Amino acid sequence: MISDFLNPSYLAGFLTLVVIYAVFAIGLNVHWGYTGIFNFGVAGFFAVGAYTSAILTKQPASGDYMTYIGGLQLPYFVGLIGAGLACAVLAFIIGIPTLRLREDYLAIASIGVAETLRRVFINEMWLVNGTRGMIGIPQPLHGLVDTADYKYVYLAIAATVLLVVYVAVERGIRSPWGRVLRAIREDEMTAAASGKNIFAFKMQAFMLGAFIMGIGGAMYASYVRAITPDTFVPMFGTFLIWVMLIVGGSGNNKGAILGALAVWLIWNRTGALVSEAQDPRIFYVRNLLIGVLVVAVLLLRPKGIWGEEKRVSVYAGKEPERGKRKEEEDAEPPTTTVSSAEEAGEGGGAT
Amino acid sequence: MTVVLEADGIVSGYGEVDILHGVSLMVDEGEIISVIGPNGAGKSTLLKSVFGLLKLRKGKLLLDGNDATGLPPQKMVRKGVSYVPQSENVFPSLTILENLEMGAFISGDNIKERLAEVYDLFPILAERPHAKAGKLSGGQRQMLALARALMLQPRLLLLDEPTASLSPRMVGDILTKIRDINESGVAILIVEQNAREALNLCHRGYVLVMGRNAMEDTGQNLLNSEEVGRLYLGG
Amino acid sequence: MAQLIVIGLIMSSIIALGAIGLTLIYGILKFANFAHGDLMTVGAYIAFLTFAGGGHIGPLSFGYGMILAMLAAMLVVGLMSVVIDRLVYRPLRRRNAGLVILAMASLGMAIIVRSLVYLGWGPDQRFYTSGLQYAHQFPLGIALKPDQMFIGATALVSVALVYLLLYRTKLGKAMRATADNMELARVAGIDTEQVVIATWAIGGSLAGLAGVLLGIQSHLMPEMGFIFILPLFAASILGGVGSPHGALVGALVVGISQEASTEWISPAYKPAVAFILLFAILLVRPRGIFGVKV
């Protein structure tokens, strides 16, 4: 079990994926953990990010078996930023109609967007080569070292990107802008009453999270070098990241990273365990395990490993758009206790 | 006179906050008891605690002399207590008839006779029994809410601000109906923001302030009291 | 086009069975059951498991064994739904878990259920019976196989029974009352826990039936129900969450639109059509056709 990890090359590959998923988890944390946007279409942003960077960095399409737009051969970091921007634009377009919806409708709408995008990518051959996929996605700084050692270079690059994203988001959350976001998540009505333009804040957070997810997609594309629409099925592209956030603890970025590590570890080790088996069906044990994991965490330890207790009024959460009942006007709503992680200064707090 | 309801030292609230800090009251058979007081005094909380919608953190509840502390609403209904919430007190997508049927849900018997009695008391409901409750006017809805609560022939009726958001004319109608109901033998515990009307109506009244008993007297005495007049009867 | 509309009607009847269950659960518990599609899948596979015996009922492709299998599927999925609620959703409700936590839990259950199907039967397509069935020809270029007529008829009968339940029985009225206002239902003395159990049992068995019918109409695949999630939600929300009439009307609109769209765009986009309808109604009238303004 552990022996695989003693191989540095294997370990580097493992950690690279953890880092990439951590970036996604942080992006999702900006959406759900900080702003309360239930984005169930992460796979859509994943795909758009990955394909955008592929289009930007690859050579133009050639030959009979490749048709796709772009092929601008731009450098890796342009690909990253471009991917982020493309996702931010997508978020803007989707956000205008959907961000005003209540949580569960937004979730359903986001699933729809992701699924529709996936079908477009599959069917429109001219766009990203359909199911044949895009292969040969270039990698940054490839010529620097021997191919055998490249893994470490990429890990270093990925880790750097993660660090930048982490620091940027942490800064953002502690800023006045971030405090407004948290106020919105905790009690939208009160935040609105204080005069803030809720919609604008939500949109900004939505776009920021999407931007981060785009970067994650670009990192993923360069790492695996070949992507097809099947890479972005809901299980991998959306569900896994949600599980990471829930297991690690939503509401803070350390939890996001921790969750990425924990869940990917489980995924990876289960895969290794069953890879000996003859029957390919056995791989679905992984999916089963992840499903059981998330249900178990929700039931037994909803705040995850490192989560903060959501400081929400005791009777919020059930029917968000109904007006408060009379006794809530009579009584001062109490707040639930705050976990020690919160008190250690993990997150800012709404006033 | 038998005591229908006795509440002793009720402490209850929401989350970590206590709203009621030890409230006591008594309802005798055939009485109308009004509970008045300022906003936030805990009047609605009191009714919910009595009916079992809120857990009693301290205190006792006695129904007909028997311990009823901690009984949930379903059991209270079976013991002859009915409750009418202040708002959202009918099923909007059900018809008037269906609402009344729901009022008699736990009764296995044929409700035809009871239905006729209730229609007598509220003739306006008999006019269009298949109208959807959601389409009724505020006053009609309040009538339906009351009627629904009467379907099981309760001995004690708990009313949460029955005249809230009603036009002045409807207020009079409702209060008359409440008196009629009481005259048919039902004890009534009514919580009201409309203090003057509530005191006019009742036999005895309690004034609740900040979750505690503040005053207790007959309805007339409270109406005439200077203090009450100054604090709660306004204009 | 007439043929597409007729096929649309058949698909609508399958969608309707799923959507009615979904909307009832949504209406009473205020929670979006993302596992509903996978409940359909389970139904289909349970029928596959229990389907025995050959023969044919008249021109249908299957014998009486299928009727028994259908009943088995309904029973199992209904039971399963009640158990899952008891073990997973109810504890979360008691803790006042938010909509999102419940939705995530249902997604988790969906994954669990789907993985079990994969583990049990593998990813390949399965069929209840083999062999071709010939379609009857009707005017306007419409061709219908007897199996498809069976599907339509079964769905019709089931929906009629559901309506009978909801509008003529005490339990049904209690279900509608609880969907309107759960606390008031409790206040009136209704045992809302039992209503919730009944809702899951009914919603689940309808989903199981829908799955079997879908399996008859096309084939069995572990992903078959999940693909239906968008049309199911679209139908429920279009018609107004909580409203059975709404689910019916929504199912008709979604089912027919999906099939009709193949005249112009690739069939792979069918769920996208459902999504566009969903999107449109959320923009224009979020409460749906028969929905009540909250």
Number of domains in chain A: 1
Which residues of chain C neighbour B53 with C-beta distances below 8 Å?
183, 186-187
User: How near does any CA of chain A get to the CA of B123, in Å?
Assistant: 31
Helix B138-150 × helix B168-183 angle, to 10°: 10
| ipTM summary value | 0.89
Q: Does A279 touch chain B if contact means CB atoms closer than 8 Å?
A: no
| Average pLDDT over every residue of B61-79 | 90
For an interface test with B, the pick among C23, C175, C184, C243 (most B C-beta atoms closer than 10 Å) comes out as: C184
Q: Do A235 and C282 touch (CB under 8 A)?
A: no
Q: What is the pLDDT of residue B27?
A: 92
Nearest residue, CB atoms, C177 vs list B73, B74, B94 = B94
User: How near does any CA of chain C get to the CA of A106, in Å?
Assistant: 10
Tally C-beta pairs within 8 A across A and C: 137
Q: Do C122 and A113 touch (CB under 8 A)?
A: no
| Average pLDDT over every residue of C43-55 | 88
The CA angle C91-C93-C94, to the nearest 5 degrees, is 65
Chain B's closest residue to C189, CA to CA, is: B74
Give per-residue pLDDT as tens, A332-343: 333 333 333 333
Q: Determine which of A38-42, B209-213, C53-57 has the lowest per-residue pLDDT on average.
A: C53-57
User: Which chains contact B through at least 3 pairs of Cβ atoms less than 8 Å apart?
Assistant: A, C
Architecture of domain B3-85+154-233: 3-Layer(aba) Sandwich (3.40)
Q: Do A330 and B44 touch (CB under 8 A)?
A: yes
Contact B156, B189 (CB under 8 A): yes
Q: Do A291 and C118 touch (CB under 8 A)?
A: no
Cα B176 to Cα B103, B166, B181, C15, C57: the distances in Å are 22, 14, 9, 52, 67
Higher pLDDT pick, C163 / A339: C163
Nearest residue, CB atoms, A326 vs list B16, B17, B44 = B44
DSSP code for A196: -
Distance of alpha carbon C186 from alpha carbon C188, whole angstroms? 5
Q: Does B214 touch chain C if contact means CB atoms closer than 8 Å?
A: no
Cα A328 to Cα A315, A336, B95, C95: the distances in Å are 9, 16, 30, 19
Q: Do B45 and A330 touch (CB under 8 A)?
A: yes
Nearest residue, CB atoms, B17 vs list A326, A329, A331 = A331
Distance, first Cα to last Cα, chain B: 36
- Which residue type does A231 have? T
CB-based burial, A104-114: b 16+ in 10 Å, e otherwise: bbbbbbbbbbb
For an interface test with B, the pick among A311, A326, A332 (most B C-beta atoms closer than 10 Å) comes out as: A326
Distance of alpha carbon B25 from alpha carbon B206, whole angstroms? 8
CA atoms within 13 A on the CB side of B106: 24
Cα B107 to Cα A159, B95, B144, C164: the distances in Å are 68, 19, 19, 21
Which residues of chain C neighbour B73 with C-beta distances below 8 Å?
186-187, 189
Residue located via tokens 């959406």:
A31
Chain A's closest residue to C96, CA to CA, is: A318
For an interface test with C, the pick among B102, B106, B130, B153 (most C C-beta atoms closer than 10 Å) comes out as: B102
Chain A's closest residue to C26, CA to CA, is: A104
The answer, yes or no, to whether residue B87 has pLDDT greater than 80, is yes
Tally C-beta pairs within 8 A across B and C: 63
Task: Domain of residue A212: give its range.
Answer: 3-342
Q: What is the pLDDT of residue A308?
A: 60
- Spatial CA neighbour of A285 closest among A296, A272, A304: A272
Which residues of chain A neighbour B39 with C-beta distances below 8 Å?
329-330
Chain C's closest residue to B77, CA to CA, is: C189
Q: Do A107 and C96 touch (CB under 8 A)?
A: no
Nearest residue, CB atoms, C190 vs list B83, B89, B102 = B102
Nearest residue, CB atoms, A97 vs list C122, C233, C283 = C283
The answer, yes or no, to whether residue A328 has pLDDT greater than 80, is no
Three-state DSSP class for A185?
helix
Q: Does A330 touch chain B if contact means CB atoms closer than 8 Å?
A: yes
The answer to whether residue A89 sits within a structural domain is yes
Residues 6+ apart with CB under 8 A from B78: B106, C189
Distance of alpha carbon A260 from alpha carbon A25, whole angstroms? 7
User: Which chains contact C through at least 3 pairs of Cβ atoms less than 8 Å apart?
Assistant: A, B
Distance of alpha carbon A305 from alpha carbon A297, whole angstroms? 9
Pairing state of beta strands B156-160 and B81-84?
parallel
CB atoms inside a 10 Å sphere around CB A135? 15
Nearest residue, CB atoms, A291 vs list C112, C272, C294 = C112
Q: What is the pLDDT of residue B1?
A: 61
The H-assigned helical ranges of chain A are 3-6, 8-28, 35, 42-57, 76-98, 103-123, 125-128, 150-174, 176-186, 188-193, 198-224, 234, 240-248, 253-274, 284-300, 326-330, 340-343
Contact C274, A128 (CB under 8 A): no
Contact A223, A154 (CB under 8 A): yes
The answer to whether residue A196 sits within a structural domain is yes
**Helical (H) or strand (E) element with C143:** strand C142-144
Distance of alpha carbon A224 from alpha carbon A139, whole angstroms? 9
Chain B's closest residue to A331, CA to CA, is: B40
User: How near does any CA of chain C get to the CA of B109, in Å?
Assistant: 12
The answer, yes or no, to whether residue C181 has pLDDT greater than 80, is yes
The fraction of chain C above a pLDDT of 90, given in percent, is: 58
Which residues of chain C neighbour B106 with C-beta distances below 8 Å?
189-190
Q: Do A330 and B40 touch (CB under 8 A)?
A: yes
Chain B's closest residue to A329, CA to CA, is: B40
Three-state DSSP class for A238?
helix
| Average pLDDT over every residue of C160-176 | 94
Which residues of chain A neighbour C92 with C-beta distances below 8 Å?
298-299
Give per-residue pLDDT as tens, B136-147: 988 899 999 999
B96 pLDDT tier (thresholds 50, 70, 90):
very high
Most confident of A297-306, B78-87, C285-294: B78-87
The answer, yes or no, to whether residue A310 has pLDDT greater than 90, is no
User: Which chains contact A through at least 3 pairs of Cβ atoms less than 8 Å apart?
Assistant: B, C
Q: Does B77 touch chain C if contact means CB atoms closer than 8 Å?
A: yes
Chain C's closest residue to A301, CA to CA, is: C92
CATH of the domain at A320: 1.10.3470
Nearest residue, CB atoms, C180 vs list B53, B73, B91 = B91
Residues 6+ apart with CB under 8 A from C134: C145
Q: What is the pLDDT of residue A344?
A: 34
Q: Does B85 touch chain C if contact means CB atoms closer than 8 Å?
A: yes
The fraction of chain A above a pLDDT of 90, given in percent, is: 29
Higher pLDDT pick, C131 / C82: C82
Distance of alpha carbon B143 from alpha carbon B154, whole angstroms? 16
Q: Does B44 touch chain A if contact means CB atoms closer than 8 Å?
A: yes
The answer, yes or no, to whether residue C62 has pLDDT greater than 90, is no
| Average pLDDT over every residue of A22-36 | 90
Distance of alpha carbon C33 from alpha carbon C251, whole angstroms? 17
Q: Do C187 and B83 touch (CB under 8 A)?
A: yes
The answer, yes or no, to whether residue A315 has pLDDT greater than 50, is no
Q: Does C173 touch chain B if contact means CB atoms closer than 8 Å?
A: yes
The answer to whether residue A348 sits within a structural domain is no
Cα B92 to Cα B145, C287, C293: the distances in Å are 11, 15, 11
Give per-residue pLDDT as tens, A126-157: 888 888 888 888 888 777 777 778 888 888 88
Give per-residue pLDDT as tens, A256-268: 999 999 999 998 8
Q: Do B105 and C183 touch (CB under 8 A)?
A: no
Distance of alpha carbon C15 from alpha carbon C230, whole angstroms? 10
Predicted TM-score (pTM) of this structure = 0.86
Nearest residue, CB atoms, C181 vs list B53, B73, B91 = B91
Give per-residue pLDDT as tens, A203-249: 999 999 999 999 999 999 999 888 888 888 887 789 999 999 989 88
The answer, yes or no, to whether residue C288 has pLDDT greater than 80, is yes
Contact A313, A335 (CB under 8 A): yes
- Spatial CA neighbour of C238 closest among C208, C294, C283: C283
Q: What is the pLDDT of residue A292?
A: 94
Chain Cα centroid distance, residue C247:
10
Instruction: Tell me the domain boundaries of chain B.
Output: 3-85+154-233
Q: Does B42 touch chain A if contact means CB atoms closer than 8 Å?
A: yes
Contact A276, A1 (CB under 8 A): no
